[in-house]
Structure 1
Amino acid sequence: MADLVRRTDSLDRRRFLSRMALLAGLPLLGAPILSACTSGRDATEGATWFEPKVRTSENGVLKTQLRVVDRDVALGGGQVRAVTYEGTYPGPTLDVRPGDRIEVSLINEIDEPTNLHTHGFHVSPKAPSDDVLLAIEPGDTFDYAYDLPADHSAGTFWYHSHQHTISDTQVFGGLFGALIVRGELDDLPGVRGRPERLLVLSQTQIEDGEMVPGDKSSNDLQQTLVNGTYQPTTDIAPGEIQRWRLINASSLFLRLQLDGHPMHVIAIDGDALTSVTAKDVVEIVPGGRADVLIEGANTGTYQLRSLSWEEFGPFYSSMVPAAMPLLNLESTGETQDSEPIPTALLPFDDLRDAVIDRRREFVFEELEPRGTGDMGHFMYYINGVMFDHHVVNETMILGDTEEWHFVNRTYEPHPVHIHVNDFQVVAVNDEPVDEQHYRDTAMLPPFGSLTIRHRFEDFTGQFVMHCHILFHEDHGMMQLLEVVERPA
């Protein structure tokens, strides 16, 4: 990684814009106003733990609604104007099992179009399923229906708006929530029955009682929230083992560390590992998830924190937060004698051994002119073109296995996200890696490369591949893909 680092004085886009605004005398929220970013449930640090309400499937069906509303929500020790699902930040958690049918009535009560993406689900990209090319207009209702395959992976997923050109502002503003699929992984000894914590990590900036739009916000002025709460406190008993479901709903690259507690990773992006991996630092790219087991340490108070990327060089200072505490973990009570953390988990089909039907290359480039705050001057490209929902950029054959090579010609990392079919990372910067699991989002390093393999299974139709820094996606860094039946 050190070979990629070149000295530069470049500023990331949002830092640049925020400093230009300060020079121009524009009002921006500064770091001293921390209480404005607390949960509304407790306006002090160490706020009471909060998780969104859970809606669970019954008899193989989850039938629910998600009402998109623009109203005051509980944030910041008071009420903050925001666009959310069902008037909560995050939206309600949807809890299902493989083989379930999920029916969601999306009711659009705001003054701009929106839609819904089930991030990480292996489902059809055709309406009324995960069709992100739809636009649900103001005042309209659309009835989504998702049929999860019986062999769908169990793990942590999420849903959010995917309305092109405004996905950044809608997701940053609160249009997201957790999806949980319970299945084979949950039934394994050592995983089964563990107490759970859901941690949806997001960024916010509040000004005049409202959230600053994502494309006008600044990394320097944002605060990290956990389930809409600023630095909440939760608890664990010494020796108790909990399962934490971590969702990065922000456009920032997170490096997470829990004082005095290794994190035992059991799944990435809703896909189980073959064996448990203990890590002191867990990296989660924008849009990514991690399921980890935490064993309570001796009595005391510990912090989960997001670490700086400074040690990796100046390019990694772009689109990543400064070091900051995220939550307090109190280890308290009598020591528990828990079932041991497992070692082996689930097998998977290692695509490094697969026959490759086709290889493709995707080059990521961008134009970020310094000296202007005009959003229209920022443009992002894949293979020299910006996204056009009328143009299918690549066509694949159902059942084929392909290798894709991504090349980054920009100074910043990009989280590559592909809908419908998960993939296996096989090389980074042309050096082989040993990832024995799939994922749906992975980091493309600055001035580096990423090589993946994936198989197009079960579903035909059109879907997208894009950078999950949503500002980049909205401004062109996305391609339309299509899987078709094999020609006769």
Structure 2
Amino acid sequence: MAGAFIIEGEYDDTLRAFYKPKGGLTEQVLVIQQIGVSSRLIAPREDPRPFLSINGRRQPVIQMKPGEVQLWRFVNAAWVSGVQFFDPKSYDPKNTTEWRQTARDGIQLSPENYARAAKDNSPFLLSPGNRVDLLVKAPAVAGRYDLRFADAISTNTPQDKVNDPILLTIQVSAAPSVDMPFPSEQDFPKLPSFLKDIDPATIHISREVTFNTKETPVQDKPDLIDETINGELFKDQTISQSMLQDTAEEWTLVNTTRPPPGVAHPFHIHVNPFQVIEVFDPNDPQEQDPNNTECYKIDDPSTWKSCKPPLEKPYVWRDTIAIPAARGTDKGDVPGHVKVRTRFDDFPGQFVLHCHILIHEDHGMMQLIQVVPNKVMIKHH
């Protein structure tokens, strides 16, 4: 079982103040969970993944007024499944439910990033461990509206749309419609100064951290599985990475896991969030465009980077992100990767990074790391 702590501040106060003269802002904390009868440490891969529930209920119903906006705080506490959200109009033209992302992983978006996501119901993947705050606006017509999702373990999970499972249902009452707009960019909570972009000139060191799943078939038995980081299983009481306090670093998170299973490992680090500056998914059709000379070549590792437009500044802060799986081909494998920047401020000590798929973490895909002080207690002169 899992729950959620909600830490409130100026971000929450600003949103509530905006909606106070409009009837107030109803808030929902929605914890996605996945409960099965097996630990799956030795369960066959063919076993179906257990269904998802929200706050312990399968396919709950949320009551809303026509045109009402509510703040939904999703927490994906599932131990294996990601939740791929996509525009409800893609499977039901009458479902005009709208949403706007306002925070990821407990960290508010900047007003600029909020405005960029305000163009439509932008699809997004909520990997295990991810959180998201959404302002959700109900349709103006009374009725029942399903929100469907794709059960995703990859950043390119196919979407069946119409037949994908229902996550929850919105019941829009027959009450009079309410006028509740989304905040404008100017009305959105201001970004605290400590969340400003990390200056690349301040990068103290760069690292590469590689995640890999290796399966060895065993006749008439479950496969033997190694889940490694940098080729090693978790070593208790052994420090795998050391970072200097009050410095910034750039990490390239690499995923060499190829189909099958083609898993997008959700990288999670404790204590210190990071900014995502680049995502490369070699299985994304847009990255394989034969008419784009900037797209990668399978046999040329120097080209293994995204040919899509670069992510715009200010960059989004996260503490969990799915690293796209490798693309397996006859000519060789092309790994996926994510580049992040982070500052190791305030808190020295030991903590962990790991894949947020529970069975991968338990199989060894975790590292003990530490932040060490950059000052000494004794004066030498």
Matched residue of 1:336: which SS?
A: coil
Does residue 26 of structure 2 align to residue 195 of structure 1? yes
- Pair 307,237 (structure 1): closer, same or farther in 2 beyond 3 Å: same
In 2, Cα distance between the equivalents of 1:419 and 1:396?
Answer: 13
Distance in 2 separating the partners of 1:372 and 1:464: 35
**Percent identity, aligned pairs only?**
33
Question: Aligned pairs, how many?
Answer: 303
Structure 1 partner of 2:253: 406
Superposition deviation, residue 212 in structure 1: 3.3
- Give the equivalent residue in structure 2 for 1:270: 106
User: Could you tell me how far apart the structure 1 residues matched to 2:107 and 2:221 are?
Assistant: 40
| Alpha-carbon offset, residue 458 of structure 1 | 0.8
Aligned to 1:149: none
Q: How does 1:47-196 map onto structure 2 within 5 Å?
A: 174=1, 176-188=2-14, 189-190=17-18, 193-196=24-27
Q: Taking structure 1 as reference, are residues 219 and 225 closer, same or farther at Cα in structure 2, changes over 3 Å only? A: farther
- Conserved 8 A contact 1:417-1:441: yes
Residue 339 of structure 1: CA displacement? 5.6
- Would you say the 8 A contact 1:262–1:280 is kept in 2? no
Distance in structure 1 (CA, Å) of the matches to 2:318 and 2:219: 37
**Residue 242 (structure 1) shift:** 0.2
Decide whether the 8 Å contact of 2:216 with 2:223 is kept in 1. Answer: no
Alpha-carbon contact 1:402-1:454 (below 8 Å) kept: yes
Deviation per CA, 1:175-234, whole angstroms, max 9, x where unpaired? x111101111111143675101121112233xxxxx333433866252111111111111
User: SS at 1:378's partner residue?
Assistant: strand
Q: Tell me which residue corresponds to 1:254.
A: 83
Contact preservation (8 Å) 1:459, 1:483: yes
Contact 2:217 2:224 in 1 (8 A): no
Q: Deviations 1:421-473 (Å, cap 9, x if unpaired)?
A: 00001111244423633111001001101110000011111001111111111
CA distance in 2, matches of 1:180, 1:373: 47
1:380 and 2:227 are equivalent in the alignment: yes
Q: Find the aligned partners of 2:345 and 2:154 in 1 and give their Cα distance.
A: 40
8 Å CA contact retained: 2:135, 2:182: no
Q: Distance in 1 between matches of 2:357 and 2:152?
A: 17
Q: Which consecutive unaligned segments of at least 5 residues does structure 2 have?
A: 89-94, 281-304, 327-335, 377-381
Give 1:394's match in structure 2, choosing from 241, 253, 278: 241
Aligned pairs for 1:453-468 within 5 A:
453-468=341-356
Whether 1:480 and 2:368 are equivalent positions in the alignment is yes
CA contact (8 A) 2:216 2:224 kept: yes
Alignment of 1:291 with 2:122, yes or no, is: no
Q: Separation in 2 of the partners of 1:221 and 1:248?
A: 15
Q: TM-score, normalised by structure 1?
A: 0.58
Is residue 212 of structure 2 the alignment partner of residue 212 of structure 1? no
Task: Give, in whole Å, the separation in 2 of the partners of 1:451 and 1:373.
Answer: 40
1:308 CA displacement: 5.8
2:316 is aligned, of 437, 440, 453, to 437
In 1, Cα distance between the equivalents of 2:171 and 2:272?
A: 39
Q: Distance in 1 between matches of 2:370 and 2:268?
A: 15
Q: Does 1:346 align with 2:190?
A: yes
The alpha-carbon deviation at position 307 of structure 1 amounts to: 2.5
- Report how far residue 375 of structure 1 moved: 6.4
1:273, 1:346 within 8 Å by CA — same for their partners in 2? no
- Structure 2 residue corresponding to 1:223, chosen from 39, 46, 51: 51
Tell me the amino acid that sits aligned with residue 189 of structure 2: L
Amino acid in the other structure paired with 2:350:
Q
TM-score (norm: length of structure 2):
0.73
What CA distance in whole angstroms lies between the structure 1 residues aligned with 2:199 and 2:172?
42
